[in-house]
């Protein structure tokens, strides 16, 4: 479903060129559970951003569902993001002035879904994530774990087939981290392709397929045999 071929991503810093990704080749099937690990600066986030169509590679071809999405216009990429990709960030990225319910509703609002349907779907989703009694709370009134669950409800509200998580537990204590991982894995079990970037080896080892990156390259790609 995801196919990266010869992906390069270089940044120009002054007169110096930084190769964040160099010749990355990667194929990910639908429903896979993948973790990406590696030292800081190895290009994990950059790779995730390219898969999420937030960033464009400087070279190579990216196919999503057999469609070359590398050279889509900004508008078309935005549409693909909206329909196919959900993001979970380390820093949650909730809109501080909106309630939990409104935060979860934002993707539906961007798609022009009517407010009554939005409320209904967002409320249902928040209940699924155990936040039925927190719908009208603002992010500042929620714990870290609760915030990340709101963010997950938002990431999944449009039922995207791909979920990208960049250090989803990075800002959480162990207990809430484990809780969030459990929810992510539950989604994967229901068929969602899950890619998790993490520094936590314990979390990384839970994935069936584990990538290891160094200096913008994938230097290990292990698939657990079950």
Partner 1 sequence: MKLLDMIRMGLGSLIAHRLRSSLSALGIAVGIAAVILLTSIGEGINRFVIAEFSQFGTNIITVHPGKTQTRGASIGIFASDRPLTIDDSVALRRVASVLYSVPAVQGTAEVNAEGRSRRVTVYGVGPDFPDAFSINVASGSFLPHDDPEQARTFVALGSKVRDEIFGSSNPLGDRVEIGGSRYRVIGVMESKGQILGVDLDDTVYIPAGRALELFNRDGLMEINVVYRPGANPDTVVDGIHKTMMTRHGREDFTITPQQEMMDVLSSVLEVLTFAVGALGSISLLVGGVGILTIMTISVTERTSEIGLLRALGAKRGQILSLFLGEAILLSSIGGVLGLSLGVGLAQLLTITVPALPVNTPWLFAVLAETVAVAIGLAAGVVPATRAAGLDPVEALRAE
Ligand X SMILES: Nc1ncnc2c1ncn2[C@@H]1O[C@H](COP(=O)(O)OP(=O)(O)OP(=O)(O)O)[C@@H](O)[C@H]1O
Q: Catalog residues that contact partner 1 under the rule CB under 8 A.
A: 49, 52, 54-55, 74-75, 78-79, 81-83, 87, 89, 91, 93, 95-98, 106-107, 109-112, 115, 154, 158
Per-residue HEC secondary structure of 121-133 comes to: HHHHHHHHCCCCC
Site string for ligand X, 39-78 (x = CB under 6 A): -xxxxxxx--------------------------------
CA distance linking residue 168 with residue 154, whole number of Å: 14
State which of positions 45-64 bind Mg ion (CB under 5 A): 45
* Cβ atoms of 52 and 85 closer than 8 Å: yes
- Does position 193 interact with ligand X (CB under 6 A)? The reply is no
Identity of the residue, 46 or 148, whose beta carbon is nearer to ligand X in the bound complex? 46
State which of positions 154-183 bind ligand X (CB under 6 A): none
How near is the Cβ of 48 to Mg ion at its closest, in Å?
8
- Does position 198 interact with ligand X (CB under 6 A)? The reply is no
Q: Is 46 in a helix, a strand, or coil?
A: helix
- Return the number of other C-beta atoms located less than 10 Å from residue 146's C-beta: 20
Helices (H), the chain: 44-51, 74-84, 100-110, 115-128, 144-156, 174-189, 201-204
Which residues here bind ligand X, judged by CB under 6 A?
Answer: 11, 13, 18, 20, 40-46
């Amino acid at each position: 479903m995801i196919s990266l071929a010869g992906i390069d991503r270089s940044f120009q810093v002054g007169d110096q060129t930084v190769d964040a990704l160099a010749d990355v080749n990667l194929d990910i099937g639908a429903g896979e559970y993948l973790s990406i690990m590696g030292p800081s600066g190895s290009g994990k986030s950059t790779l995730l951003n390219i898969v999420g169509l937030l960033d464009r590679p400087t070279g190579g071809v990216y196919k999503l569902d057999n469609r070359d999405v590398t050279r889509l216009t900004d508008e078309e990429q935005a549409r693909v993001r909206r329909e196919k990709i959900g993001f979970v960030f380390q820093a949650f990225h909730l809109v501080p002035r909106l309630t939990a319910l409104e935060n979860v509703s934002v993707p539906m609002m961007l798609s022009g879904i009517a407010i009554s349907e939005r409320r209904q779907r967002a409320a249902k989703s928040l209940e699924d994530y155990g936040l039925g009694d927190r719908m009208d709370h603002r992010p500042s009134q929620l714990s870290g774990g609760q915030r990340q669950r709101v963010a997950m409800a938002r990431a999944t509200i449009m039922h995207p087939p791909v979920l990208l998580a960049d250090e989803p537990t990075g800002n959480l204590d162990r207990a809430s981290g484990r809780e969030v991982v459990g929810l992510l894995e539950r989604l994967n079990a229901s068929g969602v392709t899950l890619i998790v970037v993490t520094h936590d080896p314990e979390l990384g080892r839970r994935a069936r397929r584990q990538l290891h990156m160094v200096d913008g390259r994938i230097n290990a790609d292990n698939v657990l045999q079950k």
